[in-house]
Structure 1
């Protein structure tokens, strides 16, 4: 049995995690602890506070008691908003506090793109344009070329959590670009776990979504691999490179 821990901001699409646990169909548990988000807003100042060391540290002990072997901060905007170096500092602080290997959803996207050998991506973001641009800058620092960015102007995670499959599919299609080798949907408030196969079929290319890559990153930290086709190309590919 492998337990992988997640610090999840607030309450929005956390039910993706038991769904993914079911789709993994293995001896893997995905315990999740909710963090206090403060103000629910896709705004830089609010996101910096959401991802603060104190807010993350508050949930760590519960995850340790769950037997988690690794911990991932399950938030994209609350990690990339710190920038490349700041996001590294955030993860290092979390690892020290937890005494466990740690990462975040932003790094999960970068590592997943590398795993698939993807160099050019399109971003379909629920965020306002200024926040979506910060994610594009983060990926550029990770060595990933962003050929298109589409923001949706949504301020709250609560609103994002109400989106259904058709709305997610519409975002992915609108974001896609002929030169993009994959489409990235970077919001853990967005329900995507049940839609990934449909998204990839519609676009004809890999689609990486926030909760999907977050779980994959935790598996990577624990040195576990699971073949789960319903979770998309990322969960069926043999590794192209060793990600450190």
Structure 2
């Protein structure tokens, strides 16, 4: 479940990359250059990248768009964006796609509730949908554990007061945040216009020598095409919101994690 449309085209790209395709050069894709194919799009749902055959079933990543409400990285707006009523309103569409698990693909409108509130959010979503559920905030916590890192830097698009709530969420899992940089961007719509140069500058500015990984926590930010290049430049793992959201979906499905180096260190370990 994805709020709005800002970086929706990351998901067909991620689906294609999971299937072993190379939908671009890992850096040249610009916002709006969606990779589509397969069944075609329905109302508010992306077309699906073509599936591949083999022993491991292909993963499909249909999007169900939730009503974003007010597009603002402000605590009050984010609490409303992630409210139970807004998520429940699109559950029927989710079921129509035959989903086997659901991830609330929004970082800020989950961590803003705090750890306990975010847990209640996904618990209610799971109950209403009748499916295993999680959110991008928990996806980051689990991805940090999967990498085995303890010290991270946060390079956020958000205003600093919102970014601080993300660091507090991570700290509740025992992660040490050695650096945090907010960018003061208010709307997801603006974030969705960023391309390689802006994403690169964000990651480089947010990095820290003591950080074992750099986190870019906004699902409105196009990152799928850039992960491998970012890691090569920084010399360390980079975790991005849409990337970890997909990994979280695989976790919910108990699906093997394919070896996909173009998706970064998080997908570069042996399949498990």
Same fold (TM > 0.5): yes
Q: Name the structure 1 match of 2:8.
A: 14
Q: Name the structure 2 match of 1:118.
A: 149
Are the equivalent residues in 2 in contact too, given 1:161–1:189 (CA < 8 A)?
yes
In structure 2, C-alpha distance between the alignment counterparts of 1:41 and 1:73, rounded to whole Å:
18
- Are positions 1:203 and 2:197 aligned together? no
2:113 counterpart (70, 82, 106)? 82
Q: Name the structure 2 match of 1:234.
A: 266
Are the equivalent residues in 1 in contact too, given 2:258–2:270 (CA < 8 A)?
no
Are the equivalent residues in 1 in contact too, given 2:258–2:271 (CA < 8 A)?
no
Are the equivalent residues in 2 in contact too, given 1:116–1:239 (CA < 8 A)?
no
2:61 counterpart (24, 30, 35)? 30
Q: Name the structure 2 match of 1:4.
A: none
Q: CA deviation at 1:28?
A: 1.2
* Structure 2 length-normalised TM: 0.85
Q: CA deviation at 1:239?
A: 7.9
Q: Name the structure 2 match of 1:180.
A: 211
- Are positions 1:169 and 2:200 aligned together? yes
- Are positions 1:213 and 2:244 aligned together? yes
Structure having the larger proportion of residues in helix: 1
- Are positions 1:160 and 2:202 aligned together? no
Deviations 1:5-43 (CA, angstroms, capped at 9, x unpaired): xx0001100100000001011511101100001100000
Structure with bigger gyration radius: 2
Are the equivalent residues in 2 in contact too, given 1:147–1:179 (CA < 8 A)?
yes
2:92 counterpart (61, 82, 106)? 61
Question: Which SS does the other structure have where 2:214 is aligned?
Answer: strand
Q: Name the structure 2 match of 1:39.
A: 70
Q: CA deviation at 1:62?
A: 1.1
Structure having the larger proportion of residues in strand: 1
- Could you list the runs of 5+ residues in structure 1 that have no partner in the other structure? 1-6
Deviations 1:35-68 (CA, angstroms, capped at 9, x unpaired): 0011000000000000000100111111112111
In structure 2, C-alpha distance between the alignment counterparts of 1:37 and 1:52, rounded to whole Å:
10
1:127 counterpart (158, 162, 180)? 158
In structure 1, C-alpha distance between the alignment counterparts of 2:87 and 2:208, rounded to whole Å:
36
Deviations 1:71-110 (CA, angstroms, capped at 9, x unpaired): 0000000000000100000010000011110000000000
1:107 counterpart (131, 134, 138)? 138
Deviations 1:149-168 (CA, angstroms, capped at 9, x unpaired): 00000000000000011110
For the aligned residue pairs, the C-alpha RMSD in angstroms reads 1.1
In structure 2, C-alpha distance between the alignment counterparts of 1:239 and 1:102, rounded to whole Å:
22
* Structure 1 length-normalised TM: 0.94
Q: CA deviation at 1:238?
A: 3.9
Deviations 1:159-206 (CA, angstroms, capped at 9, x unpaired): 000001111011000000011000000000000000000000000000
